């Protein structure tokens, strides 16, 4: 008898109607009377369950009625069309076999659980509806990212996780070490001797692969990274995690506008790909998690993203008459309240804010001719705020060195970064997308802990 | 005028012959006489260079002849067919513009460099022929992995990098900490107080995502990981790195044979995909790096992988009459010399060795009915030895607990791993592929440091 996945039964129902098939999966719900019963089976291949009907004609009928939720079973039976029922078809069982038993104290009983509780059972939560949807969408979105870039000839680069440099000084870093911390080796001055550490120096977990991605862009033209990055910041918010995945494309021969075009196309591509390939999951989010989701995503896909300079944005915010917690003046870093006002109230669609004051941006961003602003841009989206940040990079070695001196950066630490300029001075641009932010945006889930399989936050590294 | 990538000119030459185009890229070589000159330009989009011919009719002819290697230029000119030359076409320049200059001490001059030297300039080596080929192949192979699994409905899982557990005790781990190492907090006994560390406990870098992948397989049926893993082992060999990428598929309702089938199909898929999508790069490897490469890869793709039990393999090795450095007896861990003899001399193709003694394998591998061996299998390939290791997992909670007791493992540390069995006891299997080993196998490159963009090895974390 043909073993078949439940996804296939749903996608090609007509082919199977009236046929006998074999399925295997886990019991999600079970109820029965004296004469017959219903089991909802999920086999992992599909968001939806399959309804199995069994009756007293089965020799093990009594036993079946006692199977616990989460038991592993296989079922042989006929695929039968159902009229007017919730599900379009069901299986009339000829044989139900217990493949593996479950205990009756299984925590995911039918009643609803809070996301907070489900975080404490991260080993079981992917079996719940919400997290089954989240993590399949996460997988499909990750593939969409690869597909988008690979189809355009971008080279995927694995930038290092353990690093001796601190990139852009973008954030607090985790130390990586094999020293015996109870009794570390000391130098003649009595300080810890990191020359004796595993790598012969102090090393940390990367906060960004950008600088290394620039190396590869200046060889392969168009490249992207997609890997884990880290922040050792003690911030307990719904939008920050200590370990998260980033996508960092970097493009040679590209100016700021080129980055904006690629980023806009990428966001739209990911949304379209996920809607096409996870329609049931997306329906679930739109119905149960964020009722405005489809409207918001449609708006993104169908609109041309807005563009506004930082200077214009500051003017608009000042003229808006809105009371902000943080007053707006040229030179401030825009806060989430400002970003959301811009994208939700003024534009009502995604908007790129460009040309920020150099003093609130990183040293490697390309100085504009005005001497005050840099060719940077952030993408703000309704409901979330910033999801992408990027810039044209300073390729002019004299301008870059001057900027590093102003900021007191040690040029020797960046010897190879400067050599990239010394040998070519090629224009290039790039950006970073926080993958979890994108998943939150795609699903309407409001806490970053609920879109990463095993979240790492201050005080939390279970599983 | 149409700006075009060199890859497109090569792939669709006929479309461009006689037309004027604009290209931009970097000077790889330049030579000239008083009247004309040749520039080999690479624009990053393609393995091969484009030949540009320029002559004294250009007003900046003299300047062009002085451009340094690695300068950034743009060229406008006509695409002209070349007869009998190395390259099928060239550009006759109407205009050559210097977009960014390079210094004359650029280290990658035309002469050949050793791979050892190129490792010291990891920021420039992707511009060399060999590394341009390696890292494009690496990107394409990574995509092939995703494509293979996604097309079959596998869910991609991001398992955690920072972990509080030590997985299978598979190797030495790197400590991750934010404690002030010069002056760490101490508990009342005077020991370092890890409760005050960032995560409130001791944490390390993961050595494997397998245990967490099992969580997801028992929800989504078929899943895979693809991410960085770490070993803090002080081994300076050509096959070991401290940071490397692993692919770990995990499949519910799968027995050992199912893993073997998926792994064989995956290896063949990756080889075929890379040969199709990087033909020039693969030609380069076959010609300059490993003259037997194509023969070896063809043999893999066209053969059914062999299968042999460990017990049978030991018999064959003993009967072979071969002198091994490590004598062969039932119960020993097979050494590389044994593995290579099996795959190269006995089978002359890839071979799965199955059913190893339980004492040389991990606690989670499923015990066979003989009580002595486990349902494990390693894939050995000619020229390399082991590239895949995996097993059916012990799903029977009583057998698993007994094995953990035998090995002195603390069951509380594995509470969630045991609960996966408590709630379902589902058969499942999985395996791990070291991505760098696969790239070495695909390219013939013989040192792992030359297939990772920025290798981390003992004493080495530059860039």
DSSP string, A118-129: HHHTTTTGGGSH
- Angle at CA of residue B402, ends B396 and B403, nearest 5°: 90
> Nearest-CA distance from B136 to chain A in Å?
6
Specify the CATH architecture of the domain B125-171+207-450.
Answer: 2-Layer Sandwich (3.30)
> Of B5, B161, B456, which is closest to A243 when you measure between CB atoms?
B161
Q: Which residues of chain A lie closer than 8 angstroms to B232, CB-CB?
A: 178, 198
> Of A100, A191, A218, which is closest to B424 when you measure between CB atoms?
A100
Enumerate residue ranges in chain B where pLDDT < 70.
Answer: 166-170
Residue A1 confidence (pLDDT) = 80
Residue B169 confidence (pLDDT) = 60
At B416, give phi and psi (nearest 5°). -75, -30
- Joined together, the tokens standing for residue B39 give 């520039």
Percent of the residues in chain B that have a pLDDT greater than 70, as a whole number: 98
Q: Which residues of chain B lie closer than 8 angstroms to A175, CB-CB?
A: 176-179, 181
Q: Please indicate whether, in this complex, the C-beta atoms of A175 and B177 are within 8 angstroms of each other.
A: yes
Q: Model confidence at A215, in pLDDT bands (50, 70, 90)?
A: very high
Residue A168 confidence (pLDDT) = 53
Q: Which residues of chain A lie closer than 8 angstroms to B201, CB-CB?
A: 461
Average pLDDT over residues A71-98: 94
Mean pLDDT of chain A: 95
3-class secondary-structure state, position B427? coil
Count residue pairs from A and B with Cβ separation < 8 A: 309
Spatial CB neighbours of A112, under 8 Å, sequence gap ≥ 6: none
Q: Which residue of B has its CA nearest to A211?
A: B463
With a cut of 0.95, is the ipTM above it?
Answer: yes
Decide if pLDDT at A167 tops 90.
no
Q: Please indicate whether, in this complex, the C-beta atoms of A178 and B191 are within 8 angstroms of each other.
A: no
Q: Please indicate whether, in this complex, the C-beta atoms of A24 and B253 are within 8 angstroms of each other.
A: yes
Q: Tens digits of per-residue pLDDT, A414-447?
A: 999 999 999 999 999 999 999 999 999 999 999 9
Residue with tokens 């066979």: B368
Residue B167 confidence (pLDDT) = 52
Q: Which residue of A has its CA nearest to B278?
A: A153
Q: Please indicate whether, in this complex, the C-beta atoms of A416 and B123 are within 8 angstroms of each other.
A: yes
Domains B6-100 and B125-171+207-450 share a fold: no
Helix locations, A179-278, DSSP H: 210-220, 256-277
DSSP string, B128-170: SHHHHHHHHHHHHHHHHHHHHHHHTTPEE----SEESS-TTT-
Q: Please indicate whether, in this complex, the C-beta atoms of A427 and B155 are within 8 angstroms of each other.
A: no
Q: Please indicate whether, in this complex, the C-beta atoms of B212 and A463 are within 8 angstroms of each other.
A: yes
> Nearest-CA distance from A294 to chain B in Å?
24
Average pLDDT over residues A78-96: 92
pTM of the model: 0.97
Q: Please indicate whether, in this complex, the C-beta atoms of B181 and A175 are within 8 angstroms of each other.
A: yes
Q: Please indicate whether, in this complex, the C-beta atoms of A136 and B253 are within 8 angstroms of each other.
A: no
Per-domain boundaries in chain A: 6-100, 125-171+207-450
Specify the CATH architecture of the domain B6-100.
Answer: Beta Barrel (2.40)
Q: Tens digits of per-residue pLDDT, A53-70?
A: 999 999 999 999 999 999
> Of B99, B150, B163, which is closest to A143 when you measure between CB atoms?
B150
3-class secondary-structure state, position A348? coil
> Nearest-CA distance from B315 to chain A in Å?
36
- Rg value, chain A, Cα: 27
Residues belonging to chain A = 463
Q: How far apart are CA B144 and CA B146, in angstroms?
A: 5
Residue B161 confidence (pLDDT) = 98
- Number of Cβ within 10 Å of residue A279's Cβ equals 11
Decide if pLDDT at A166 tops 80.
no
Residue A86 confidence (pLDDT) = 79
């Amino acid at each position: 008898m043909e073993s078949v996945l439940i996804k296939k039964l749903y996608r090609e129902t007509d082919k199977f109607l009236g046929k006998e098939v074999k399925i295997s999966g886990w019991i999600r719900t079970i109820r029965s009377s004296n004469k017959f019963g219903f089991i909802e089976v999920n086999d992992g291949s599909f968001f939806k369950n399959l309804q199995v009907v069994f009756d007293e004609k089965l020799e093990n009928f009594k036993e079946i009625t006692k199977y616990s939720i989460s038991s592993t079973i296989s079922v042989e039976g006929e695929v039968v069309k159902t009229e007017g029922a919730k599900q379009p078809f069901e299986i009339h069982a000829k044989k139900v076999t217990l493949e593996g038993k479950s205990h009756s104290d299984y925590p995911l009983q039918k009643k609803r659980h809070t996301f907070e509780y489900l975080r404490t059972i991260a080993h079981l939560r992917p079996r719940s509806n919400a997290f089954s949807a989240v993590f399949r969408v996460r997988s499909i979105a990750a593939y969409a990212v690869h597909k988008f870039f690979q189809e355009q000839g971008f080279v995927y680069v694995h930038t290092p996780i353990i690093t001796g440099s601190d990139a852009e000084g973008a954030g607090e870093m985790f130390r990586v070490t094999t020293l015996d911390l109870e009794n570390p080796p000391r130098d003649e001055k009595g300080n810890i001797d990191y020359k004796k550490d595993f790598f012969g120096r102090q090393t940390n977990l990367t906060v960004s692969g950008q600088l290394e991605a620039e190396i590869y862009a200046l060889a392969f033209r168009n490249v992207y990274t997609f890997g884990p990055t880290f922040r050792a910041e003690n911030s307990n918010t719904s939008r920050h995690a200590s370990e998260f995945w980033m996508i960092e494309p970097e493009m040679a021969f590209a100016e700021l506008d080129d980055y904006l075009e690629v980023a806009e196309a990428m966001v739209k591509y990911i949304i379209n790909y996920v809607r096409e390939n996870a329609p049931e999951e997306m329906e679930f989010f739109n119905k149960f998690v964020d009722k405005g989701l489809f409207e918001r995503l449609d708006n993104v896909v169908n609109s041309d993203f807005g563009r506004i300079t930082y200077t214009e944005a500051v003017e608009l915010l000042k003229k808006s008459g809105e009371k902000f917690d943080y007053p707006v003046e040229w030179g401030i870093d825009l806060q989430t309240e400002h970003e959301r006002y811009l994208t939700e109230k003024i534009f009502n669609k995604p908007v790129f804010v460009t040309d920020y004051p150099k003093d609130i941006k990183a040293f490697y961003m390309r100085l504009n001719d005005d001497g005050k602003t840099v060719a940077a841009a952030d993408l703000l989206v309704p409901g979330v705020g910033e999801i992408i940040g990027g810039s044209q990079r300073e390729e002019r070695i004299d301008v870059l060195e001057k900027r590093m001196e102003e900021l007191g950066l040690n040029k020797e630490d960046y010897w190879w970064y400067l050599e990239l300029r010394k040998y070519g001075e090629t224009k290039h641009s790039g950006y970073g997308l926080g993958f979890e932010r994108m998943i939150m945006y795609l699903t309407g889930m409001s806490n970053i802990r609920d879109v990463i399989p095993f979240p790492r936050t201050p005080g939390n590294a279970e599983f």
